[in-house]
Amino acid sequence: MMNKMIGRLEGVDVWLVLSLLIFLLFFTAVCIYLVRMSSPHAQEMSRTPLSDDSQNMDLNL
């Protein structure tokens, strides 16, 4: 059923390939960012949700 609906649309193959390329570029960029991230920065970011430090909070309640 889906193939019939997609088959009737003109130019849909361009959008499918374009969306796949955008996903792959984003995924590759995130992977490169994570590989190049420094270890101290990664450790600091991993502790952030658990820290009870008021300096990390932007809300002044």
Indicate whether this model's pTM tops 0.75. Answer: no
Return the domain boundaries, the chain: 5-9+11-38
Local confidence pLDDT in tens for the 61 residues of the chain = 666 766 666 777 788 889 999 999 999 999 999 999 888 888 888 888 776 665 555 554 4
How far, in Å, CA of 7 to CA of 5, rounded?
5
Question: Do 13 and 21 form a contact (C-beta atoms < 8 A)?
Answer: no
Report d(CA 18, CA 3) in Å as an integer. Answer: 19
**Cα–Cα distance for residue pair 40/49, rounded to 1 Å:** 16
Cα–Cα distance between 38 and 51 in angstroms, integer? 20
